[in-house]
Amino acid sequence: MLTDARLLELYDSQLGSRHLDLAARELRAQGAGFYTIGSAGHEGNAAVAAALRPTDPALLHYRSGAFYLERARQAPGTDPLRDVLLGLVAAASEPIAGGRHKVFGHPKLNVIPQTSTIASHLPRAVGVAFAVERAAKLGVACAWPHDSVVVCSFGDASANHSTATGALNTAAYCAHQGLPLPVLFVCEDNGIGISVRTPGGWIASYGSRLGMRHFTADGCDVASAYEAAAEAVEWVRRTRRPAFLHLRTVRLMGHAGSDAEVAYRSRAEIAADEERDPLTATARLLVARGVVTEDEVAALAEAKREEVRAIAREVASAARLETARAVMAPLAPSRPAAVAGEAVAAAHAARARPAEPVTLAQAINQTLADLLDHCPEMLVFGEDVARKGGVYGVTRGLLRRAGAGRVFDTLLDEQSILGLALGAGLSGLLPVPEIQYLAYLHNAVDQIRGEAATLSFFSSGQYRNPMVVRVAGYAYQKGFGGHFHNDNAVASLRDIPGLVVATPSRPDDAAAMLRTCVAAARADGRVCVFLEPIALYHTRDLHDEGDGEWLAPISAEHVPIGRARVYGSGDELTIVTFGNGLHMSLRVARRLGLRCRVLDLRWLAPLPVDDLLREATATGRVLVVDETRRSGGVSEGVLAALADAGFDGRVARVTSRDSFVPLGDAAAHVLLTEDEIEAAALDLVRGRP
């Protein structure tokens, strides 16, 4: 039951939110503000905040102003009106994003910043709910109390995005299997997405269609909204199962300040929504209950308006970010000494084994096993990774070694796999998810680009989602697969700010680099992608059948992020390569009889520029051997690095064609070959154009 005192508090939060929206428009008109998407009409979400605990993690819709203010009331020590206004003017002193974007977020309030308008935060919310329960099961620390409810709000239009439907499906999938997942999805349904109407009744049955417990309320009636939210929260907290709260709202003042609603809505429709204004409804309820008089309601509204406007005047001239360095500061936190210490400790903690040479797949497998022993919070998961041990056997035996709580199979949805990792990392676990093939990553890459990589940026490093995403990729598998199992497109990863992209070729490098990535995730909260060349998984030989020269023992060596490896010391030619290109280049180098050195980049982001320049200068001739595509491939970044540094030697490149990889022998027509490498090397050394 909503008491009179709590009703008055909710009205205060609703008033604060509305006047923040009005101040946003005024600041924009003055040229002092930069964001005008508001919460007007959605102020009923204050009731959802009231039904929760301040320790319950919240991933919020961008119309959650009243929720944010009400949550701040529950956890004193913040100045929410000032915080939001600082965000509107992009002030460097804004306490969550530091002027990088206007978001709702604060670590003291357990509000995780979200910038998405398309519900891309829903998979993460599922991951947080999963992590709360899994951490308790494993007996490891979690960022949230063991009985938390995770709340995730979003709009009715966003509910149709594949990311949202995938997350809702994953939640239902977990519930169907009896896995605890305490998440409350709150769909704030105002009936329109910018200008496109949501069909009547579409959201009404949404949760129940997936077998979730369904709750509904009029978001314009704060008492009704509170009762429904309280019932939903209690049910989720008690049963540890997902639920769906349909909160019917209205949208007032348009989508944003620049939106002229009259272009796509009739004046009658707009007026009808204004009649349902939740602030008016709450004021009427307060008067009807005798809590305040009509004059006192008006006085409260005016006092809040003056309070917000006074703060707005103060922050309008607040200092903003002034340098690129300041803007980029939280992108890629790096403490090389701490990472090295963590990686070396993991190597030394590994169980003793005979120093026998192993394949790339075996090296990754054994290193994962050792890291599971060393990191009690580490999880390994993905499609077919547990019982089967992976399509290529790379995770074989890990389920038996670490148990089903830490090594497990997921449903077939890469967005959900990565969302699970995002939530787990945010909550204190160390996720190492597997994407079965590189071609399968592309439909889910926004979980890395828009969610993982931005979290530290939009929280000034106060929130982190450490993770190491293992991806089987590249081409050259013999007699198998075509494009969907032989993908060489990495451009979508290389342009994500702050992302570490590792690509080992040799077994010893794979072990050391995997330890480094896990150490970087653990020590610095880094997001790492570990690209594994499928065609080299079980390769044993280099030059001749039976020579075993591609095998190597696992060592305790530490490989720093962004450091390359050099083979040979010749002074005629430097071959720069990575992945399968290393195997081909070493073979070509021996056949040529030239005085060559081969540089294995090992890291595609950040590129090992210092090592590249040193080895290029040593010979004055550089051949870039790039198995990815000519357009958007890795060679473009290598050539740019050489040009930027003023390298004045001779440079050439050989690449795969700008083509998808076809099935069977036809692949040889579009993939880079050893013959092409050899011809380009000879031309470069002999001075041919």
Amino acid found at 509: D
- Token couple for 255: 């989508």
What length is written for the chain?
689
- Whole-number Å distance between alpha carbons of 170 and 181: 10
- Token couple for 229: 């939210």
Task: List C-alpha distances in Å: 585 to 430, 537, 622, 674, 681.
Answer: 36, 18, 13, 7, 10
Task: List C-alpha distances in Å: 110 to 66, 90, 159, 592.
Answer: 15, 22, 24, 61
Bridge partners (DSSP) of residue 575 are 598, 623
- Whole-number Å distance between alpha carbons of 60 and 66: 11
The answer to whether the beta carbons of residues 500 and 470 sit under 8 Å apart is no
- Token couple for 368: 């994962």
- Whole-number Å distance between alpha carbons of 125 and 416: 10
- Token couple for 184: 């409350």
Amino acid found at 427: S
The DSSP output letter for 623 is E
- Token couple for 489: 């497109």
The candidate with the shortest Cα–Cα distance to 64, out of 99, 38, 89, is 38
Radius of gyration of the chain (CA): 28
- Token couple for 559: 């490989």
The candidate with the shortest Cα–Cα distance to 599, out of 612, 587, 610, 609, is 612
Tell me which residue has tokens 């030989």: 541
Secondary structure element (H or E) that encloses residue 176, with its range: helix 162-176
Secondary structure element (H or E) that encloses residue 434, with its range: strand 430-435
Distant-in-sequence, close-in-space partners of 288: CB < 8 Å, separation ≥ 6? none
Half-sphere exposure of 290 (CA within 13 A, CB side): 0
**Greatest extent of the chain over all pairs of C-alpha atoms, in Å:** 96
The DSSP output letter for 353 is -
- Whole-number Å distance between alpha carbons of 188 and 62: 11
- Whole-number Å distance between alpha carbons of 441 and 491: 12
- Whole-number Å distance between alpha carbons of 591 and 517: 35
**Catalytic one of 485, 538, 543, 669:** 485
Is 176 among the residues known to form the active site?
A: no
Q: What is the 3-state secondary structure (H, E, C) of 230-270?
A: HHHHHHHHHHCCCEEEEEECCCCCCCCCCCCHHHCCCHHHH
Burial 620-647 (b: 16+ CB within 10 A, else e): ebbbbbbbbbbebbbbbbbbebbeeeeb
Q: What are phi and psi of 18, to 5 degrees?
A: -65, -40
Q: What are phi and psi of 430, to 5 degrees?
A: -125, 90
Euclidean distance between the first and the last CA atom of the chain, given in angstroms as a whole number: 83
Distant-in-sequence, close-in-space partners of 629: CB < 8 Å, separation ≥ 6? 488, 489, 491, 655, 656, 657, 658, 659
Question: To 10 degrees, what angle do helices 278-289 and 4-29 make?
Answer: 150
Q: What is the 3-state secondary structure (H, E, C) of 282-348?
A: HHHHHHHHCCCCHHHHHHHHHHHHHHHHHHHHHHCCCCECCCHHHHHCCCCCCCHHHHHHHHHHHHH
Task: List C-alpha distances in Å: 385 to 417, 467, 473, 512.
Answer: 12, 17, 16, 22
Instruction: Show which residues are catalytic.
Output: 485
